[in-house]
Amino acid sequence: MDISVIIPTYNRYELLKRALKSVFSQKLLPIEVIVIDDGSNDNTSKIQNDFPQIKYLYQHNRGVSSARNTGIKKASCEWIAFLDSDDEWHPQKLQKQVEFHKNNPNILMSYTDELWIRDSKELKVPKKFQKHGGEIFEKCLSHCIIAPSSALVHKSMFESIGIFDENLEVCEDYDLWLRVASKEKIGLVNEKLIVKYAGHENQLSFKHWGMDRFRVIALEKLLNSEFKTQVIEQLIKKYNLLLKGAIKYDRIADKQIYEKRLKELENELN
């Protein structure tokens, strides 16, 4: 199995070096490593001096989805592994996923469990992020349980399912994995083979209030899927949460939008 690694980055030169070290420490090395610099203005452009074997691509700042999509289009291998520049891999990460796919040739995407670290201490991963394998669409509805850095995907999947939605500032991974899970089984290598670090600057998950605002956009796309009832039920939950926030912070226009959409969804469900 030939693998291309795609690493999007923005102003994370030091963290990027850590991520790349973990890639080149793999027991099974990828064929190519593509770093997409999404408009950095720090020292990221020097990364090829540190790792001359990588492919370095610069683009004007268009967001992480655009950067990953650029990498997908440039990748030459059949299999694509993603790594966020603030994460790192266990040395056996790729090897264990390749073994999984050799034993399960009909599964075209897999992911792994993850370790969370803050201030050099391991964090307990909340139960809602528990990992599952197989037909996992309903397990993915509430929150994104698949970290991009854990995913290994056959390139044909992007041709049939589509790529990352560049209109989503965050939750773009939630959106794509939901679309995959609505059509395909997703394999799980149930070991903590990636490390996610919390607490540093520029984490997208801390930059946006009301993450469910983006999750409902992803869910709305799936109203014509075979999981329509489950999608509507989840949308009602999330719009109710958004409505509470709109009332609390006196966002009158948002309140009216959420109330109208809730009424429509409840009528459709009944």
Query: For residue 38, what are the β-bridge partners?
Result: 59
Q: What is the pLDDT of residues 116-161, one digit of tens each?
A: 999 999 999 999 999 999 999 999 999 999 999 999 999 999 999 9
Question: Which one, of 96, 24, 206, lies nearest residue 7 by Cα?
Answer: 24
**Where does the pLDDT of residue 32 fall: very low under 50, low under 70, confident under 90, or very high at 90 and above?**
very high
Per-residue pLDDT at 207 exceeds 70 = no
Residues contacting residue 211 through CB under 8 Å, at least 6 positions apart? 170, 171, 205
Average pLDDT, the chain: 95
Mean of the pLDDT values across residues 55-84? 98
pLDDT at residue 101 greater than cutoff 80: yes
What pLDDT does residue 209 have?
59
User: To the nearest whole percent, how much of the chain has pLDDT over 70?
Assistant: 96
pLDDT tier at 41 (50, 70, 90 boundaries)? very high
- Give residue 210's pLDDT: 78
CA-CA distances (angstroms) from residue 165 to 60, 86, 99, 110? 17, 21, 30, 20
Residue 198's pLDDT is 84
**Can you name the residues that pair with 112 across neighbouring β-strands?**
189
Residue 238 has a pLDDT of 97
pLDDT at 28 > cutoff 80: yes
Q: So what's the pLDDT on residue 208?
A: 52
Query: Are residues 87 and 197 in contact, defined by beta-carbon separation less than 8 angstroms?
Result: yes
What is the crossing angle of helices 228-248 and 252-269, to 10°? Answer: 160
Contact of 114 with 196, CB cutoff 8 Å = yes
Residue located via tokens 């109330």: 259
Within the chain, residue ranges assigned H as helices are: 13-23, 47-50, 64-74, 93-103, 156-161, 172-181, 212-220, 228-248, 252-269
pLDDT for the residue numbered 270: 83
Mean per-residue pLDDT for 217-228? 96
**Helix/strand/coil (H/E/C) assignment for every residue in 57-70:** EEECCCCHHHHHHH
Task: Name the token pair of 259.
Answer: 């109330």
| C-alpha angle 171-175-178 in degrees, rounded to nearest 5 | 135
CA 183 → CA 80, 146, 218, 250, distances in Å?
19, 16, 15, 40
Q: Shortest CA distance to 95 belongs to which of 9, 43, 29?
A: 29
pLDDT at position 123: 94
